[in-house]
Chains A and B, each alone.
Chain A
Amino acid sequence: MARKYLLGNEAIAHACVESGVDFISGYPGTPSSEVIDVLRVQPDRSYYVEWSVNEKVALENALAAAWCGIRSLCTMKHVGLNVAADPLMTSAYTGITGGLVIMSADDPFAHSSQNEQDTRCYAHFARVPCLDPAGIQEAHDMIPEAFDLSEEFGLPVIFRPTTRICHSKGDVELGESVVSIRKGEFHKDPRQYVVIPAHTRVLHKKLNEKQSAIRKRLVERGFNHFKIRGKIAIIASGIGATYVQELLPEGVSFMKIGAYPIDEEWLGDFVKKHEKVLVIEELAPEVEEVVHQIAGCVPVFGKKNGYAPYEGELSPQAVAVIMEKAGFLPKKPFPQVNPIQNLPPRPPILCAGCLHRGAFYAIKKVFKDAIYPSDIGCYTLGLQLGVVDTTICMGASITVASGISHAGDPHDIVCTIGDSTFLHTGIQGLINAVYNGANITVVILDNRITAMTGHQPNPNTGVTACGVESPPVSLDALCRSCGVSFVESVDPYDITGMVNILQEAKKRKGVKVIIAKQMCVISARRAGVKRGRYRVHPEICTGCGTCVRFGCPAIEFEDEKARINELCSGCAVCAELCPVGAIVREGKK
């Protein structure tokens, strides 16, 4: 036993090892990525771990491992579960023999996501148990329980932490690591694993029959509990429950929901002992819906009558406002404060020396009035450069481009997609675009890594999650085999070269693919690549601002002249852009 100061995801990863996990798969996505990032670098691992190409692939792999009787973990972010929804829904029918825990991390407030969907709704939809921790210690302690529950009921269990669990820190009491010794063994059972109609109808009935026992067990295991302290009550879940506890006044009863499905009878007994109840939870009204069903004439305060928001994340101050409005808090706990207005914002931006900036610059130069569908990754930040017109979900750049092309829009269409995203769900869109004769230019921004989520390797990198060498896929050969005849690779630091190839693509009909290939500047720095910095020659600089508009954080503008700061990584793109040749390598005259 040890007490450590850990990130939520580090504590979750440790708990998986304490549970004797045997098989781990997943696809990176904020806020879930660090769980596998921690597990994949442990020395003396006894478990198998992989980064899969997408969440559907990851879950099907983990499901198969759990069918072989071993403990499996599959990690992803909430929107990843959309991709894995197909195997999820039917895995509840087939069940499992070894424990299967699916960690799907939600991101209320969309800190780093395209939406604020609630994983608890998926658990409800699939009729599988869902554990919803309220803090790091609980997240840690729930993991072994999740494996036990999964094995007890023969069902996958969803574990749903949120950003404020995954990326918060705290002192955590850890247990002992357990060495995985199980070997998987598949026992044929077509009635369980071949979901033809005759089998699946039976399996569906069995799944439904498990529900009542699951509800009871979740209360028995103490995930859902309460304390009666007065005539009014607050029912809360997730991190919201922690904020309520920080503020809970004397004489207000408190119920904490940490697991679903909720036992309605047990919940009803609690609610009926009170004169009014307030429900506090992030995102969907999962708890509130159930409370409404059983409340009878007890008034329920929450999202449905406008006391709590459906969107965004909760915070101590947000919870205080809800409690006060609903009459559950006698006085304001926090002073009213106002942030200083009109400060220039500092949003995230592409790094100094990022390959994407050069690629975007060239695209904009050649295709001035084009439509620019894009995708999910660092390069979504190209929005600030005016070269991202659409982003919806992983892989939806090529598909949106071909859809716009077939819709009849007369503009050129140039879409951008990263290498990891292309391998995730981009390939199908490319095959479809070629097959159906779309007129589009596809630029694959190839930095050979999944950068945004923390530099996880992918099949394009040449190493596995554990650092074992693996033959990198050839994006060029892949695109050609999809039927693309114009496939060109170019270094996006070479603006002239990139412009030339884009012009060539512009002249042609059909699907053209340009692979803009250069190392991620962060990976390059870590690998010890040193290019030397650049500086502006103040006597040559005319202050025209061309380099400043390029938007690199290494370029500043002071006293009517450009200046390059210490962030410069030496990509030299600005030196190529400067119309008067004022930007030179440091040390050169």
Chain B
Amino acid sequence: MTPIQGVKNLGVWVAIFLLLLLALAGGWVLRGAAQTSTTPNNKGAVAKPAGAAQKAGAGTPATNPPLFVDVTRAAGIDFHLNCGSLEKLYIVETQCGGAAAFDYDKDGWMDILLIDGSSIEDYKAGKCHPPKLYHNNHDGTFTDVSAKSGLNFCGWGYGVAIGDFDNDGWEDVYITGFHGSALYHNNHDGTFTDVTAKAGVANADRWGTSAAFGDYDNDGNLDLYVANYVDVDMNNLPKFGSSQFCQYRGIPVNCGPRGLKGARDRLYHNNGDGSFTDVTEKLGIDPDSYYGLGVLWLDYDKDGCLDLYVANDSSPSLLYHNNCKGGFTEVGAEAGVAYSSDGHEQAGMGIDSADYDRDGWPDIVKTNFSDDTKNLYHNDHNGEFTDMAGPAGIGAIGYPYLGFGVKFLDYDNDGWPDIFMANGHVDAQVEGQSFGVGYAERPFLFHNLGFESDHQIGAQSKIVKFEEVAEQAGGALAKKYVGRAALTADFWNRGRQDILFTNMDGSPVLLRNEVPSPGHWLRIKTIGSKSNRDGFGARIEITAAGSTRYAEVRAGSSFESSSDPRTHFGLGAATRVDAIVIRWPSGQVDKLGPEAADQELVVREGSGVVERSPARREPIAVKH
């Protein structure tokens, strides 16, 4: 060996040593980062955001494990949504696709109902496009049981509401449609019977969109609100591009809703005998016949009486304050949720509510048209709301997107409600234009990062920040869809919130939650006894690791959707819930706990916990 060769060999050994050292150091750093991602921070039970951890750790989205995986086909969902022409020449073709997650056979697993639309030709010819009901097989797959279900809605379907209107312990189905909706009673044997005529909720000659059940007078029976959109005649639809109301940025598009007559919403009071009474006029509901799209029952002032928020298209949204005496006062403008922050009408589509900043009061999220920010209305605890979309970080990014379905969910179980939004334009003609908006659009998943700082703002609330993580998560979340309905459910009873959203003229998307290392959780299924059987409207507070979270029990929200009615709480690092307080619509207050995390509690009003179910062990047998 020459001296030079010796030096070369020495160099090689030094290089190998340095590489080993680097690898060890890298491993230590990554281990530290992984530990950080599941360690509670100084805000109590709040885990480090999964999205942020991924962002810091990885670099390119492709190397990250996806947060959600599209398992639609593997799960056996073969539904194709029909909604008129692909060109969307008429307004009736622009917003089909209702969807529901509910347990129709009471086996403890969430099943799926998908509402089909139609086409102008088929509708006129009387050709049916019935909804599809998929039974959950408990193994990650679903079976189409539509044929024997009796859910034979024949018309142009739009939305769906789920609720046990007759308090028999079985979930019933209400389907909204063009010029006629239908109520189906659950026969307890996997079949349903159309009871629309007897119930008196046909919503005849009106175009129903979203609907939701809620007991506004606390009589123990679920009432029904139906949002109606525009009053058009299928045989005389306004011609594509024919007037100033049929233009978008100078290009011809389908006409409306402006320029068309609005259809007045309906509020049906449940008489408790299988029939309903239309109390719309009596209670002064929607007197101006705005273009109704989103419906949300919530108790924003926590007085124990359900209030109602309705998102209207291209007109003011309406907030009905319940006076607890059987009546409502519309207070949208006073409360700051009727208009944009500048007092302009917005094109409201979907709405949902949750206490995103954990101050114990329900806040509201609302999707709007493109070229507009979406709203994140913070509840100021005094009957007013402040739109925090801008400072919270969901304002600017959503600007070019047209949002429809929207749901709060805690996808990583860190205890801070996140937001999912299904996006997609109503005008197919925007595709290929250079407007900065598209027809198909990717969805949003806003991860709640918790408080930004102690900076005080508005009504003494702190700023909670969100980070949009769908694009970096990649996979199904980064793809483009023409999204409409959106719902959340724990389809596999794993203690994780999955997502399902519908896609115009295509397959729905069933997204299985695959978040690595989610936090602990608790789920509560409410059974009312004096209150309505579903417990809709009950207010639940849980305390874990020194912090309290608030939620209201509901199924209907978002856009034309009904979600898993079981109330899900992410707990972060907490393995125990110290206290649970349930305030039922009847006025009954149940105080429970402590309870271990990672289980579902079935709570009966006045009786406490009547059943406990741990999470199913993973993995389940589904290929994707």
A interacts with B: no
Binding site for A on B (CB under 8 A): none
